[in-house]
Amino acid sequence: MEESEKENLFMTFKGVIESIILDKRRNPKNNKTLDNFRARLNMGLQTEEDFYLWVNLTAENGKYTLGKDKLEEYDLEIMATPEDLMGFSSGENSTLHMMLKKNKYGFKKLRYYKSSDGKKNFGILLKLPKVLVLDKLKTPK
């Protein structure tokens, strides 16, 4: 993957994450969840069978920062294709679907690993949909 392609993917992914968080902030019910969520995540975006573009998401005191590369100290590491993460973020794919079904490369759609200190941090994994998944729109009757 060329550097320009990596940069485009990173900028696209960053834009999506930022817009989801902004959209969630518009609903006052989400503010407490967004403000209380604390995590350092490494996310491997699988773009080829044997290549991952690593990005990191840091959430602390209601501020969310997306950066390039892996963090040395992290709470959770997840790996997925960008398409699968977009499906997850849009609410199209549930957490259970992501953990049980396989992606186009034959791996689970969402793979997760322990933190840098060996903890499993299932709580963070279970809170991810509350932070990174768009709220369902209610259609007017």
CATH of the domain at 72: 3.30.1050.10
Rg (CA), the chain: 15
What was the pLDDT predicted at 86?
87
How many domains does one find in the chain?
1
Model confidence at 139: pLDDT above 60: no
Q: What are the tens digits of pLDDT across the range 49-104?
A: 999 999 999 999 999 999 999 999 999 999 999 999 988 888 888 888 999 999 99
141 belongs to a structural domain: no
- Angle made by CA atoms 92, 123, 111, in degrees to the nearest 5: 55
List the domain range (segments joined by +) for residue 78: 3-131
- Angle made by CA atoms 88, 92, 98, in degrees to the nearest 5: 45
Q: What are the tens digits of pLDDT across the range 23-33?
A: 999 999 999 99
Q: What's this model's pTM, rounded to 2 decimal places?
A: 0.86
105 belongs to a structural domain: yes
136 belongs to a structural domain: no
140 belongs to a structural domain: no
What was the pLDDT predicted at 138?
62
4-14 exposure pattern, b = at least 16 Cβ within 10 A, e = fewer: eeeeebbeebb
**What is the token pair recorded at 40?**
């350092």
